[in-house]
Amino acid sequence: MDHFRNIGLIGRLGSDRVVDTLQRLKRFLIDSGYTVILEDTVAGLLPGDDLQVCSRKMMGEICDLVIVVGGDGSLLGAARALCRYNVPVLGVNRGGLGFLTDISPDELEARVGEVLAGHYMSENRFLLDAFVRRDNEQLGTSEALNEVVLHPGKSARMIEFELYVDGQFVYSQKSDGLIVATPTGSTAYALSAGGPIMHPKLDAIVLVPMSPHTLSSRPIVVDAGSELKIVISNQSGIYPQISCDGQVHVACAPGDSITIRKKPQKLRLIHPLDHNFYAICRSKLGWSSRLTDQ
């Protein structure tokens, strides 16, 4: 069991509700005897106490636990920065759905207190690495916890591309793009595009076409150890983009290739002991409860 002493705080900017929750969390942790370290971008919002301030990268090196206050988007950004340091991450929901940030502010002190006392569950979530190449030269790279998306950018035209899995040709496609999602991302953009919900423990990747120009094109689930390669047609008249978690964007051109593979490092995600994936799906997606509860 982890022993938490130095605890980092990250919060979404531009929200008074996030600042209020960070203030409560900071005071609770200090009063409980923990060392609190603030991310430099939020330090100005939490004056007083003369706390240590550092970058997100440094936070990964010196913290025993990082608590993210915000929505799933806030945790996605933190995950990409912190996964390489193997520091556990806990999410407090101050956003929308909250698939990843599953502690409610109403239960803040009680739930965080349980985690700090050692009453928690830990799981590893894998990320994806994406590499964009042109004429064998690497143009850009990024990583994603949810999904890597090939999309037209500002253009309204379809993209023509070829898909390869482990060097084997799969298909040529003309569509609005392709979503390559982890199990974590299967309840996000991929779900809205018609992809399947995948349990977070699955070691698999789903490829979901976006409005394909054929009725026979369906989502494909492949082993997470597969290397995926997308080649944009030279005949394609548009310059599409690769987006990672909707937060990092890399411009592409006709003839470019995008290689996607599982990232070696994983995110350590912390949950309260009663965390239940199916209960979250029922709550967030409006699934029916038991007949006896209706």
Residues labelled as active-site residues: 72
Q: How far apart (Å, rounded) are the C-alpha atoms in residues 144 and 183?
A: 12
Helices then strands, counting H and E runs in the chain, come out as 7, 17
DSSP 197: P
What would the two tokens of residue 15 be? 């929200």
Q: Could you give the CA distance from residue 237 to residue 240 in angstroms, rounded to a whole number?
A: 10
Residue 38 is encoded by which pair of tokens? 């603030």
Two tokens, residue 207: 């490829």
Distance CA 58, CA 274 (A): 31
- Distance CA(73)–CA(134), nearest Å, equals 30
> How many CB atoms lie under 10 A from the CB of residue 230?
27
Please state whether beta strands 6-11 and 35-39 pair in parallel, antiparallel, or not at all (unpaired). parallel
